[in-house]
Amino acid sequence: MAVMNDLRTIKNAAWLGWEMEANWADPFLFATYSIVKPISATLILVFMYMIVTGGNTDNAYFSYMYVGSALYMYIAEVLFGVTWIIHDDREHYMSLKQVYIAPIKFYAYILGRSAIKIAITTAGVIITLAFGVLALGVDISLWDVDWLLLLGSTALGMSCICVLGLALGGITFLTARHSIGINEGVAGVFYVMSGIIFPITALPTWAQSISKILPVTYWMDSMRRALMPDAMAELGSVAGVDVTGLSGISDLYIMVYLAISTAVFFALSMAVFKYADGVARRKGKIDWTSTY
Amino acid sequence: MDQEPAVRTEALTRVFEPKKKKEGSTVRALESVDLRIEQGELFGILGPNGAGKTTLLKILSTLLLPTSGKAYVAGLDVETQFNAVRQRINMVSGGEISGYGLLTVKENLWMFSQFYGIKSKVALQRIDDMLGEFGLLDKKDAKVRTLSTGQRQKMNVIRGFVTDPDIIFLDEPTLGLDVNASRVIRTYILDWLKDHPKKTVVLTTHYMAEADELCDRIAIIDNGRILACDSPERLKKMVRMNTTLSMDVTRLKDTAVFKTFPGVESFTFTEDGEKGLTKLRFVMRDESGVSDIVSAVLGQGSRIESLQKTEPTLEDVFIKMVGKGLE
């Protein structure tokens, strides 16, 4: 019964999320924005890369960078999105307290709103990857994709990102607009430490140790392995050097690590969320308006 | 066996500490509040701004935790059994422009009904009925952002009732609304209770007439303390043994002097700028001081336009309890 209630909450929150995300403009403008925004964001990096390498996009590393940048959209959208959901509900729509006192689990509401962010971001990621393959020669072939690995790592990765968002959502209860800064900081850590646009072997040794704890590092690697197995194999043994720093690890190990770390992060995030929720109730922050 | 009260508080206290010392001092929003609200009651909490009304409702609706003391809603502890409390309550706050502006009125109401597990078909029918009663049926498919403040407020009241709560907390539900919109809301509340005699409404207001018209019982609250709690009639009886005097006079230079007259229990005045009048209202222990008041008015060169002995109102009770009027 409780599970059914949670699923119903997730469904309704997702519906609300879709209405909020898709209704702010007419469908044509929304579609244009959905295509242009992710491609433009990725092109910034592409141009920087091309300037540095003298226009060379025909190598495995370009594909590595491009795919990482496209997938990072999930992290950015969900982590920023969760903060924005709470901030916007509380201070712009002034509806947070009404949702909060409803007989639902608030984290289910956040998960529902996040789910729709993931769905919309998925469209952006697919468009960006398709653009990369068709216009820039990114090394992804539908025939070579490891669909099972892709499915598994997508499911685990999305769960993991949502779980991280949940903890940040709890923190947002206690903060005003600067919670966006906190989330940017957290997303920034992943950007630098999780092999998003450069392999973790480019980091100092101490930083690599941190990278190897972060679940996002493994998610990125497994997604790349699934999407571009040839390029990843190439990067795994450039002149006998493991460029990615993870090529010696099996797919199974990565999936198990992702599953365990997601479970651990879930427990931690729930603890953070519940603690923050309690503090927010104690301090009267649920219907707080910071007027920022 | 005693019926479980809808609301019960025991020495309920809420203290707000300033974030930094320079941002002000500790505020004791509620001070040892003991209340018992029975099922089926329309209970009013009357007090000036900052009296603690909203804080009390926030605690009862599980938005805020008490600093000490206990609060029970439908016999459930709001602190530890908040999930069960939430299944039985709803809350509406006045003066807010809440609502998802991108959704239509119907979508907004439907979405909240779904959070309460109401079957979609039932909810949609209920929404239609209520929109009709509130005169908002033509706005059913309008985006919330296009509604006027009054229409939004009505929509929010519908949001509170559409979930059919056992206990509904209404925090200044008619705040800032015009006479017609306020009347529609007040009528709905009364009709709802008539149709659902076991349901309970807890209403905060600083409109005396609203409290007088609607409530079975009223608690007068000031500085976080309940000063009196009874039916409007009984509260008024508390000052009925006194003499209540209303006097309209041409502009007075000094009104402070009236407070010090012997026999004056409480005194308020309002200025009517348009007519150039000062409206004085006295609650007096006896009529012996009337001549002194008249002399003092005339002594200031003012003219008495009207003078009448009146029935005590809730405002007189309030003034007697709190020592000042609401406006």
Q: Report pLDDT for B260.
A: 78
Residue A239's pLDDT band (cuts 50, 70, 90) = low
Identify the band that residue B35 occupies on the pLDDT scale cut at 50, 70 and 90.
very high
Domain boundaries, chain A: 2-283
Average pLDDT over residues B194-205: 94
**Which segments of chain B belong to CATH 3.40.50.300?**
7-236
Whether B238 shows a pLDDT value over 90: the answer reads no
Does the structure show a pLDDT above 90 at A150?
yes
Average pLDDT over residues A28-33: 81
Angstroms from B93 CA to nearest CA on chain A: 10
In eight-state DSSP terms, residue B253 is S
Using a CB–CB cutoff of 8 Å, tell me whether B86 touches chain A.
yes
pLDDT at A184: 82
- Answer yes or no: do A282 and B65 touch at CB < 8 A: yes
pLDDT of residue B182 exceeding 80: yes
The proportion of chain A whose per-residue pLDDT surpasses 70, expressed as a percent, equals 96
* pLDDT number for residue B36: 96
Per-residue pLDDT at A277: 92
CA distance A174 to chain B (A): 13
Q: How many CA atoms lie within 13 A of B271 on its CB side?
A: 7
- Under the banding of pLDDT at 50, 70 and 90, the label for residue B226 is very high
The chain-wide mean pLDDT, for chain B, equals 88
Interchain pair B98, A100: CB under 8 A? no
Q: What is the pLDDT of residues A178-196, one digit of tens each?
A: 767 788 888 899 999 999 9
Kindly write down the DSSP assignment for every residue of chain A, as one continuous string.
Answer: -HHHHHHHHHHHHHHHHHHHHHSSS-HHHHHHHHHHHHHHHHHHHHHHHHHHHTS---SHHHHHHHHHHHHHHHHHHHHHHHHHHHHIIIIIS--HHHHHTSSS-HHHHHHHHHHHHHHHHHHHHHHHHHHHHHHH--S--TTT--HHHHHHHHHHHHHHHHHHHHHHHHHHHH-STTHHHHHHHHHHHHHHHTTSSS-GGGS-HHHHHHHTT-HHHHHHHHHHHHH-HHHHHHHHTBTTB-SSS-TTS-HHHHHHHHHHHHHHHHHHHHHHHHHHHHHHHHHT-TT-----
The stretch B174-194 carries a mean pLDDT of 90
Residues of B in contact with A102 (CB under 8 A): 86, 112, 115-116
User: Which CATH number describes the domain made up of B7-236?
Assistant: 3.40.50.300
How high is the pLDDT of residue A177? 66
Helix (H, G, I), strand (E, B) or coil at B108: helix
Quick one: average pLDDT of A49-65?
84
pLDDT-derived band at B325 (thresholds 50, 70, 90) equals: low
Greatest mean pLDDT among A54-58, A72-76, B256-260 lies in A72-76
Confidence band of A14 (pLDDT split at 50, 70, 90): very high
Residue ranges, comma separated, of all CATH 3.30.70.100 domains in chain B are 243-311
CB contact (8 A) between residue A93 and residue B100: yes
What pTM did the predictor assign?
0.83
Q: What percent of chain A has pLDDT over 90?
A: 42
Mean pLDDT across the stretch B250-271?
82
Position with higher pLDDT, A99 vs A26: A99
User: How do residues B67-119 score in pLDDT, each as one tens digit?
Assistant: 999 999 999 999 999 999 999 999 998 876 778 888 999 999 999 999 999 99
Q: Is the pLDDT of residue B327 over 60?
A: no
The winner for highest mean pLDDT among A42-46, A282-286, B141-145, B240-244 is B141-145
The confidence score (pLDDT) of residue A292 equals 61
Q: What is the CATH number of domain B243-311?
A: 3.30.70.100
Q: How many CB pairs under 8 A join A and B?
A: 73
Amino acid A34: pLDDT: 78
- Residue of chain B whose alpha carbon sits nearest to that of A6: B115
Q: What is the pLDDT of residue B7?
A: 97
Q: pLDDT grade, residue A238 (50/70/90)?
A: low
Query: pLDDT for A80-120, tens place per residue?
Result: 888 888 888 888 888 889 999 999 999 899 889 988 889 88
Higher pLDDT, B235 or A56: B235
Cβ distance A284 to B58 less than 8 Å, yes or no, reads yes
Q: Percent of chain B beyond pLDDT 70?
A: 96
- Report the amino acid identity of residue A113: R
Mean pLDDT of A45-50: 87
Q: Which of B60, B63, B79 to mutate to test the interface with A (most CBs of A within 10 A)?
A: B63
Q: Do A103 and B117 touch (CB under 8 A)?
A: yes
Average pLDDT over residues A220-230: 93
Question: B29 pLDDT exceeds 70?
Answer: yes
Identify which of A93, A282, A287 has the shortest CB distance to residue B99. A93
pLDDT of residue B48: 86
Mean per-residue pLDDT of chain A: 87
Spatial distance between the Cα atoms of A259 and A265, rounded to a whole number of angstroms = 10
Q: What is the mean pLDDT of residues B302-322?
A: 81
Question: Does A9 sit within 8 Å of B115, measured CB to CB?
Answer: yes
Q: Do A95 and B100 touch (CB under 8 A)?
A: yes
Query: A198-207, pLDDT tens digit by residue?
Result: 889 889 999 9
* DSSP-derived secondary structure for B267-306: EEEEEETTTTEEEEEEEESSGGGHHHHHHHHHHTT--EEE
